[in-house]
Structure 1
Amino acid sequence: MTKPYDPAEDGAQMSFDGRMSYGDYLSLDMLLNAQKTWTNTHDEMLFIIQHQTSELWMRLAIHELTAARQHLLGGKAHQAFKMLARVARIFEQLNSAWDVLRTMTPSDYTAFRDELGQSSGFQSHQYRQIEFMLGNRNKAMLRPHSHRPDTLALLEAELAQPSLYDVALKALAQKFPLPDAVLNRDVSEAYVPHEAVQAAWTEVYRDTETHWELYELAEKLVDFEDYFRRWRFNHVTTVERVIGFKRGTGGTGGVSYLKRMLEVELFPELWHLRTEL
């Protein structure tokens, strides 16, 4: 009989008493005990893990977006490009996760929905932070976080600094003059599209060889927003498939609210210029 393979014979570490193990490094005891279910229904575990893993991916997205913004401010565009490409792939992962959640039927969800109380993904402060970082800034969206002073301070601090798109426009302004209303606006307010910005980006696309770095920056932003839009669309269709047009647990209109969010453009001029080319 063939002797069972022993990895130790090839040098594998097999004893971890007092040493760093895989579980120690990843804090797996804490992570894998964070799935507290409120009912004995089978699909509640799926629902919890879906949202917890989404929050972990969003945490990484914030990490990458923060660094990308800093690199752009420091004139290190190529380092920022790698991070923006990674964020697009993160949202590709988030899009794929909806396929798993869609295996939950309306009957499965109804069995534990009441236990959610008023909790809703609408209240995700990390999602709100990502939107604020990208330039979709609506101060009304601070209110769901007013019960947590630490979270509220985090979001207010984000509103006090330029968004990723504001930083991209500063890079654009180094090659094309942009009006004061764009460059010195109140960054805590939502960005309003400007014809001068669209004209500048259009010139970048008309002469990509001369403005290659700006062109690459623009395409990285569009690539990310493409995945971000798909994530929103998949969110809408998943919710409609599971609860129809019922009001959301957090009090929003559910599908009607999510469909309204589909209309939001993060980098508007980068989409509108395509009609002019």
Structure 2
Amino acid sequence: MTTPNESTAAAQPSSESVKGRWDGVDVHFGEEGGRLTYGSYLRLGQLLDQQHLESDPPAHDELLFITIHQVYELWFKQILHEMTASRDAMLSGELWRAQHLLRRVHTIERTLTQQVDILETMTPQDFGEFRHRLSPASGFQSVQFREIEFLSGAKDPSFVRRFRGLSEAEKVRLAQRLEEPTLWEAFLAVLGEAGFETETEDDIRGALHKVAHDRSQFAAVWELAEALLQHDELAAAWRARHVVMVERMIGTKPGTGGSSGAGYLRSRLDLRYYPLLWSLRSSL
């Protein structure tokens, strides 16, 4: 006769039986397995060892500055992941998936803008304690940010020529982005699949006008166009928020990478990835 504890134990599958149900794969869950942990999965040892201050003595706010920009780069990586998949979904006719992934991009872009609030808790005096250590590094040199612009449709080969600090791997990445289809080119393929001509800008304007006025037939195409426009608007909002933050922090001083600082950033405020989607508004 078994005790209640023995009966309970007998009802529980052994580790060997669990493995058997997983076709012999050595599966370990949670702390009991003792192999994959939260820290090891996220590589926290390496991740948290990447914030190296240049100031000496250490400036208190330099850690914040480094952390914010590293987080930006992580989000840029995710945005590129989603935008690339969205473009490929458009090219394969999966419009629902393309729109779904762009909505995720929108949410991340709102987060990027909100992060400026954290950076602005640093005063100009605090930034001045270590800013001189940053030269010639500059946010202008963010390769992933340029990839986002290229993939969005604003391809600028001159960036690759002007920036001499690129590694060979970064040059390859940017060259690939310059060659591969953009989100806009993928959207034009969607219009083509819907039966529209897209050879000229007038063709595209006519197609967009038809789509906008017949949303019952072209609902998926219209929603995708709106998702692209939302991406464009949120990117513009981030640029505008960024330039004001820079002006608040350093005024009219030159950028650390040799650019004109806020002046250069202001010159980018009128950038639009999809001008035909914006001009469509005037005819609706």
- Superposition TM-score, scaled by structure 1 size: 0.87
- CA drift at 1:178: 1.9
**2:234 corresponds to:** 227
Find the aligned partners of 2:204 and 2:240 in 1 and give their Cα distance.
Answer: 27
Task: Tell whether 2:177 aligns with 1:161.
Answer: no
Q: CA deviation at 1:15?
A: 6.0
Within-5 A mapping of 1:201-240: 201-240=208-247
SS in 2 for 1:265: coil
1:47 to 2:54 alignment = no
- For residues 49 and 129 of structure 2, the distance between their equivalents in structure 1, rounded to whole angstroms, comes to 23
> By how many angstroms is 1:33 displaced?
0.7
Identity percentage over the alignment? 38
2:100 maps to what in 1? 82
Distance 1:36 1:19 in 2: 29
Residue in structure 1 matched with residue 264 of structure 2 by the alignment: 257
In structure 2, the residue matched to 1:124 is 142
In structure 2, list runs of 5 or more residues that go unmatched.
Answer: 1-28
Alignment equivalent of 1:197, drawn from 204, 212, 220? 204
Q: Is 1:54–1:94's contact at 8 Å kept on the other side of the alignment?
A: yes
Q: Which one of 104, 108, 127 corresponds to residue 126 of structure 2? A: 108
CA deviation map 1:142-176 (0-9, x unaligned):
13156411100111011111111011011112321
RMSD: 1.5
Unaligned runs of 5+ in 1: 1-11, 183-193
Q: Secondary structure at the match of 2:129?
A: helix
How many Å separate the matches in 1 of 2:151 and 2:220?
22
* Counterpart position of 2:169: 150
Change (3 A) 1:197 1:97: same
Question: Is residue 2:152 matched to residue 1:134?
Answer: yes
Which structure is larger by alpha-carbon Rg, 1 or 2? Answer: 2
Q: Are the aligned partners of 1:245 and 1:256 in contact in 2 as well (CA < 8 Å)? A: yes
Preserved CA contact (<8 Å) 1:146 1:152:
no
TM-score by length of 2: 0.85
- Please identify runs of 4+ aligned residues in structure 1 that moved more than 6 A: none
Is the CA contact (8 Å cut-off) linking 2:99 and 2:227 kept in structure 1?
yes
